[in-house]
Structure formats: C-alpha cells, structure tokens
Amino acid sequence: MRASMLRSIETVLKRTSSSLSQSPSPSPSHLIRRSFASESSPDRKITALGAAGGIGQPLASLMKLNPLVSKLSLHDIAGIPGVAADVSHINTRSEVLITFGV
C-alpha cells in the first residue's frame, strides 16, 4: 500500500476511536441486530445498453461481479458476441443474455 493511503487509514481510525470514546455507550435497544431470511434474495435483472462501447464493457464486467445480480442482459446496436463471451467467462451465478439491433 502507498504511504499516503496508510496515513489516511490511520487518520480515519484515530477519528473513529476518539469519537467512540467520547460518545456514551449505546442502550440495548439501539444495538444492531442481525437476522437471516428463510427465502433467497429476489432476482435482480440488469440491462446494460451500449455494451459494446468503451463504458459498456467495463460496466458489464462490474455488474457481472456483483453478487446481487441474477441476470445480466447486454444490448447494443452493434454485434456484441465478443463482449458477451468475455463477460460470461466470469465465474459468478448470474447468467448473461445478449441482444443487438435496433
């Protein structure tokens, strides 16, 4: 890591620890509770328009890496089978669909 990045992390940690020591302890009703759902998370379907472009390709890759996305649809007026092949090789649970044309 860069030295400037480490310094900024140290500064944030110092500020956080000093603010925590000055604040009163939280009451039990304000504690964060963790709960688990019995159902799976809802399907999230994302469509990337302009997927063959300079912004669409990295956007499609980032959306494919997002664990909340279940279906990723790529669309462009140009043919995009290469982009779809690249994105579909990323090993995640989401499936990739392609459409092209007007």
Hey, how many other C-beta atoms are within 10 angstroms of the C-beta on 64? 22
Structural domains in the chain (count): 1
pTM above 0.95, yes or no: no
Give the pLDDT band of residue 2 (cuts 50, 70, 90).
low
Burial class (CB within 10 angstroms; exposed 0-12, middle 13-18, buried 19+) of 89:
exposed
Predicted confidence at residue 11, as pLDDT, reads 78
What value does the mean pLDDT take over residues 5-9? 70
Is residue 29 assigned to a domain? no
Residue 1 has pLDDT above 80, yes or no: no
Q: What is the pLDDT of residues 14-70, one digit of tens each?
A: 776 665 555 555 555 556 666 676 777 778 999 999 999 999 999 999 999 999 999
| CATH number of the domain enclosing 66 | 3.40.50.720
Q: Sign (positive/negative) of CA torsion 15, 17, 23, 28? A: positive
